[in-house]
Amino acid sequence: MEVTVNLNSILYSLIGWFLYSLGLWKLLPKLKWERRWMAWVPGLRTVALGSAIDMGWEGVVCGAMEVLSQISRFWKPAENADERTELVLVLFTLIFLAVLIIYEIRIFLRLTQVMGVKKRWIILWLFAEWLPMMVFGFSSRFQPREDVALADDRAAGTCPADLSAATDPAGSSSSGLVVRLRERTAKDFLKKRYLLKDISLSIPNGSMVLLLGGSGSGKTTLVNALIGYEKADATVLLNGTDVYKDYDRMKYRIGFVPQQNLVRGNDTVGHTVNDAARLRLPARIKWKDRHSQVEEVMDLLGLTAGQDGLVSKKSGGQQRRISIAMELVVDPELFILDEPDSGLDGVIAREIFTRLREVADTGKIVIVITHTPDRVIDLFDKVIVLARDSGRVGRLAFYGSPQEARTFFGKDTMEGIVMSVNSKEEGGEGRADELIARYAAMTAEETEKAKKTEKAEEAEALQTEGGEGA
Amino acid sequence: MKKEKHRGFHAQTGIYLGKFLRMFVFQSDWKVLPIGAVIAGIVTFVVGGNIFVTQEGTLMGSFALVCVCIWNGFFNSIQVVCRERSILKREHRAGLRAGSYLAAHMIYQFLLCLGQTGVTLLICSLAEVKFPQAGIITPWGIADLGITLFLVTYTADLMALMVSSLVRDTTTAMTVMPFLLIFQLVFSGGFFDLQGFAKSIRVLTISHWGLNSICSIGRYNDLPMVTLWNTIFKFRDIEYLGEKPLLEIIRQMEKTGTRDQFLQWAGQYNQNPEYAAVPGAILQNWGALLVLGVIFTVVALIAIHFVDRDKR
């Protein structure tokens, strides 16, 4: 094979490449992308653009296809090569181009969304991709929309308050659940994304806690971090034991019921719960004890009557209870449920929450995510409110009793509280930053007060000891 | 604090095996047996008459039987892991051992494949397929054939299990499956003349080793070849100098009873060393199928072990 040179084609490509890169070089800072040099490197420039607008994977595919299609475009088979070689080359070029076009369309559609322009700009892009890039890059009229989520690692630290200083005053307890989450990040190709930051909690045993927050505020991410499934830069202590350091043991002491009913439909209810118990309970537990534990949980959740029926034949509410029973059967110290009432009517939902309250009353910690909290709020001891700040990072906006939450947010309902931290685009009040900062200041003040009180008490104790000694 | 012992590999395998066996009854898994019977019935109806009788019939019939086995194996387990991937993740988080889960599937599929092989052999018997009388590895030809059919079915099953463990949903699994089937059919080396690189990659196919093994067991190299005779027969009316020499030869051979000798003689020129009816050749084919099965198992195990890496 040999590389054949077509001067016109190369010249056209070079001009297009230069103009596109120039436009991108000006656009990347607008998109808060620091490595501007990438705009000048074929392949990498698409990776940079993709990553800057949260389409890292598309950017990488596009970059690779860009390079491969250019290679196959200029690489012509030698004259004596057979027809099959030429056919294979044409076929590969077409495949590369098809993938490139599809992924470029995806990236550009996202770019139109980020820049707040009409999708019809894509027509311009298809004929001369450098033109919209130059316009977006050089014109000051075109700026990224503020409401579009752009993962920005610098913005993650720009919350109005230094939350790292704020700690829960009651956080020194060795019993219950103690959480010190510094950050939870995810790597998206070239970009580090902050999902959660600065969350500090201390939940006493026997509490039933409501986890509130709008979509994308990081509720499930926090739960996954708490149970050690997706580790964060954090310390999570459950009754004094580090969940992360001792995960292999602790995972049996934590029950997590996911949002979907992840249960096999073609097995009986009794077998499903019994198998879950056999899998999760320690091997030393005798058959008789295990059997009575299974029966107890089935009774508690009202599953005994239909235990010989297939799971798939049960109603949504019953399947939800089976899913709960599978975790509850091991008697977990920490029990977390992600929307246990989704798809259930009010009566059944209330019934499930009442059962959970009974579980909490046995000294366990129950944390529940629900989108309809007001019908069951009387059953909860504490409320955690997560909010997404202006840097699109999930943060702690409040932790306290439901009544304290109502006072703090100035709202009568839990749904009202969620609306106050939701962004305006989501129909909320967009007060997340303000409330996060206020809560941080409040907890910092309480921590300071607690420290002073502690010091005063220590000094008093020393004085008393001195007096007694004299 | 002392670490409490939870159920180990064998106990967990037992839990899951019990679950899968219950599902055989409750779910539609039992249907694979009658479906396998129908497929085997259709195939033997079409190609069963000449299998183990002539070289062409043996090659075609063996290929068809291998296809039936691969089809059965693929359909047994192409969806079994991916359709419950979310459940698997939940259970993995709760202490499930990837090895136990896979072992339970493998034992269950082993039994299923055994049943399907039995059904296929039964259908072949009912269709009056002339099985080789004497075996090469065992004293019975039907036993050698049964082991081969089972190994092909089970290896295909393990391959599908691997695919099911690698992909994240049933749609992807069912998209991948036709490509795998085509790969098996094209690269078996039975019908398409493979050259160069294409010839070297046939060792990766289950169909290649299965086909070789069945042809060896059927003593392909000792069977008569009919293609040459049929071709001559087609041209029997060609005239040369006012006569029909080919028709004359055909009549003469039929009259003297040398037709069969001719067919046998033609077969000697169509022998394939890969189909040698010797124990070494068959054991090599079985060994290759086992090696492929082990590779598929290891890949599946790694995929299941890292099931938690899935992003939301």
Residues B132 and B250 in one domain: no
Residues B124 and B247 in one domain: no
Residues A272 and A347 in one domain: no
Residues A105 and A176 in one domain: no
pTM value is 0.79
Determine whether the interchain pair A278/B11 forms a contact, defined as Cβ–Cβ distance below 8 Å: yes
Give the pLDDT band of residue A300 (cuts 50, 70, 90).
confident
Q: What is the pLDDT, as a whole number, of residue A6?
A: 66
Determine whether the interchain pair A276/B18 forms a contact, defined as Cβ–Cβ distance below 8 Å: no
Specify the number of domains making up chain B: 2
pLDDT for B162 beyond 90: yes
Residues A298 and A358 in one domain: no
B87 → closest Cβ in A264, A268, A279: A264
Domain residue limits at A302: 268-330
Q: Does residue A352 form part of some domain?
A: yes
Residues B146 and B213 in one domain: yes
Mutate to test the interface with B, among A226, A231, A266, A336 (most CBs of B within 10 A): A266
Q: Does residue A160 form part of some domain?
A: no
pLDDT tens, A428-441?
898 999 999 999 99
What is the share, in percent, of chain A residues with pLDDT greater than 90?
40
CB B275 within 8 A of CB B220: yes
Determine whether the interchain pair B93/A278 forms a contact, defined as Cβ–Cβ distance below 8 Å: no
CB A151 within 8 A of CB A188: yes
CB A81 within 8 A of CB A123: no
Strand A394-400 vs strand A241-242: parallel, antiparallel, or unpaired?
unpaired
Contacts of B19 in chain A (CB under 8 A): 264, 267, 271, 275
**Nearest residue of A to residue B21, measured between CA atoms:** A267
pLDDT tens, B265-306?
988 988 889 999 999 999 999 999 999 999 999 999 999 999
Residues B136 and B235 in one domain: no
Give the pLDDT band of residue B114 (cuts 50, 70, 90).
very high
The span from the CA of B16 to the CA of A354, in Å, is 33
CB A106 within 8 A of CB A122: no
Helices B32-47 + B98-126 axis angle, to 10: 40
pLDDT for A469 beyond 70: no
CB A328 within 8 A of CB A359: yes
Q: Does B25 lie at the interface with A, CB-CB under 8 angstroms?
A: no
Which of A54-58, A460-464, B150-154 is modeled with the greatest confidence?
B150-154
Q: Does residue B296 form part of some domain?
A: yes
Contacts of A275 in chain B (CB under 8 A): 15, 18-19
Q: Does residue B144 form part of some domain?
A: yes
Specify the number of domains making up chain A: 3
Q: Does residue A167 form part of some domain?
A: no
**Nearest residue of A to residue B97, measured between CA atoms:** A279
For residues B129-144, average pLDDT? 91
Give the pLDDT band of residue A230 (cuts 50, 70, 90).
confident
Residues B177 and B242 in one domain: no
pLDDT tens, A128-186?
888 999 999 999 889 888 655 555 444 444 444 444 444 444 445 578 999 999 999 88
Residues A21 and A107 in one domain: yes
Residues A211 and A122 in one domain: no
Residues B134 and B168 in one domain: yes
Residues A236 and A366 in one domain: yes
Give the pLDDT band of residue A334 (cuts 50, 70, 90).
very high
Q: How crowded is the C-beta side of A95, counted as CA atoms within 13 Å? A: 9
For residues B175-197, average pLDDT? 84
Residues A359 and A241 in one domain: yes
Q: What is the pLDDT, as a whole number, of residue B280?
A: 95
In CATH, what number is assigned to the domain containing residue A217? Answer: 3.40.50.300
DSSP string, B69-82: HHHHHHHHHTTTTG
pLDDT tens, A398-409?
999 999 999 999
Residues A275 and A423 in one domain: no
Residues B89 and B129 in one domain: yes
Q: Does residue A309 form part of some domain?
A: yes
Determine whether the interchain pair A271/B308 forms a contact, defined as Cβ–Cβ distance below 8 Å: no
pLDDT for B198 beyond 80: no
Residues A289 and A420 in one domain: no
Q: What is the pLDDT, as a whole number, of residue A153?
A: 45
Q: Does residue B4 form part of some domain?
A: no
Question: Is residue B285 packed enough to be buried (19+ CB in 10 Å), middle (13-18) or exposed (0-12)?
Answer: buried
Q: Does residue A164 form part of some domain?
A: no
Domain residue limits at B244: 226-269
Q: What is the pLDDT, as a whole number, of residue A136?
A: 93
Residues A128 and A13 in one domain: yes
**Nearest residue of B to residue A254, measured between CA atoms:** B94
Determine whether the interchain pair A248/B3 forms a contact, defined as Cβ–Cβ distance below 8 Å: yes
Residues A128 and A15 in one domain: yes
The H or E element containing residue A430 is none
Nearest of A6, A34, A39, A55 to residue A130 by alpha carbon = A39
Q: What is the pLDDT, as a whole number, of residue A166?
A: 43
Determine whether the interchain pair B22/A327 forms a contact, defined as Cβ–Cβ distance below 8 Å: no
Give the pLDDT band of residue A318 (cuts 50, 70, 90).
confident
Q: Does residue B3 form part of some domain?
A: no
Q: Does residue A470 form part of some domain?
A: no
The span from the CA of A83 to the CA of A463, in Å, is 99
Residues B211 and B140 in one domain: yes
Residues B14 and B102 in one domain: yes
The span from the CA of A189 to the CA of B271, in Å, is 57
The H or E element containing residue A21 is helix A7-30
Give the pLDDT band of residue A82 (cuts 50, 70, 90).
low
Q: Does residue A165 form part of some domain?
A: no
Chain A residues whose C-beta is within 8 A of a chain B C-beta are 220, 227, 229, 241, 246, 248-249, 251-252, 256, 258, 260, 262-264, 266-268, 271, 275-276, 278-284, 310, 327
Cβ contacts below 8 Å, chain A against chain B, sum to 75
Q: What is the pLDDT, as a whole number, of residue A423?
A: 86
Residues B21 and B80 in one domain: yes
Q: What is the pLDDT, as a whole number, of residue A79?
A: 66
Residues B165 and B249 in one domain: no
Residues B260 and B153 in one domain: no
Mutate to test the interface with A, among B6, B16, B79, B92 (most CBs of A within 10 A): B6
The H or E element containing residue B30 is none
Contacts of A246 in chain B (CB under 8 A): 1
Q: What is the pLDDT, as a whole number, of residue A161?
A: 42
Q: Does residue A39 form part of some domain?
A: yes
Q: Does residue B14 form part of some domain?
A: yes
Residues A338 and A324 in one domain: no
- Among A37-46, A187-196, A369-378, B175-184, which is the least confidently predicted range? A187-196
pLDDT for A417 beyond 50: yes
Lookup: tokens for B115:
């049943």
Average pLDDT, chain A: 85
Q: Does residue B213 form part of some domain?
A: yes
